[in-house]
Amino acid sequence: MACCLIGCGSNQGARREQLDRAIELLGVMPGITMRAVSRHRETRPIGGPPDQDPFLNGACLIDTELWPHELLGVLSAVENTLHRDRTERWGPRTLDLDILLYDQLVLDNEVVDGSALTIPHPRMTTRRFVLEPAVEIAPGLLHPLSRCSLSDLLDNISQAHLHVAIVGAPGSGAAAVAGAVADATLARLVQAPAVLPWRKRAGLPDGGNPDAAWSAALSACARPLEISTWPDDPHGTVADYWLGSHLVAAEDTLSPMALGRYTAEHTAVTAKTVTPHVAILLRASPETLAERAAAQDIPVADLVRLQDRLLARLRCGKQAGDRVPHAVVVVAADDLSRAIDEAIAAVEAAG
């Protein structure tokens, strides 16, 4: 038996009756045992078309003998039985049932019989309307990527001054996305004051010493994020970089001895800064990265490798001792306008 967390939502028709009926039907399905059901909460729509009606959102905890794609089929059957009506992404819907967690399983867009499934739900870590009902019924349940309890994830997005880092390889559009998110959320915008000297093949600016160049970049980027000067207003901070990216990029540039020195310095410097509560990783195709970063003369293979390693570090950095964000959202960045909408929605959902 697998323990699964299911998210439920509706903003059309008889919302409460539809959610109650969906839970009732789900509980009598073969291979499913209902363990707990949250109360319903009314929430404002996030993203999607304007002028939508408020949602009712909730969650339920089940035990199931079904495999993930079998469970997805059952949820779809319940939705169809209750005449699910949803015509556009993030648009109004009569009923929406999502697999949020399936034990400690991790699936990344796995396709079976034409249905793609990502577990854990890729945007749940910043969604208050998901986390609040989930914490009501399963506060200690662990998120397998963040390695935090659901209660910790809710506390993470409930900071007085939220720190959001837009993370990406050169060419991902991090600066543009960060600026748009800051404008939309009235947050303080922090832009990288120094370019990372990680282009090993192209050399360093003015033939400089690599140790000094990396130290200078780290110091300049850390200064606006220091704990001692951190604001306490409710608008938050959006930075177009993550200090952890420096360490990932330095691994491609510095010699083993120099990297050891830099790693120790990085640990000391970042200990005095506020770790991002949310990281939004922009993932772009090789073609997009090559086009946008052409002026920097960086081989596209290096950009793709850096992007992959950033994702790996964000997902497992806690094991490596890194100061990594609890909430990580991956956003496709080939369409910059859509990436901006996704990033704004991720941040607004935390409010």
Beta-strand ranges (E) seen in 158-254 are 163-167, 188-190, 237-239
Q: Which of 351, 350, 348 is nearest to 183 (CA)?
A: 348
Other beta carbons within 10 angstroms of residue 233's beta carbon come to 11
Give the separation between CA 138 and CA 341, rounded to whole angstroms. 30
Task: Give the list of residues 6+ apart from residue 308 with CB closer than 8 angstroms, or none.
Answer: none
Q: What's the rounded Cα separation, in Å, for the pair 145 and 318?
A: 10
β partners of residue 5? 61, 101
DSSP string covering 154-184, please? HHHTT-SS-EEEEE--TTS-HHHHHHHHHHH
Q: Which residue has the tokens 């998110």?
A: 181
Ramachandran angles phi, psi of 198, nearest 5°: -95, 5
Active site residues: 84, 93, 96, 98
- 3-state SS, one letter per residue, for 266-317: HHHHHCCECCCCEEEEEECCHHHHHHHCHHHCCCHHHHHHHHHHHHHHHHHH
User: What is the Cα–Cα distance from 71 to 65, expressed in whole angstroms?
Assistant: 9
256-270 and 210-222 are packed helices; what angle lies between their axes, rounded to 10 degrees?
A: 20
The Cα–Cα gap between 258 and 253 comes to 9
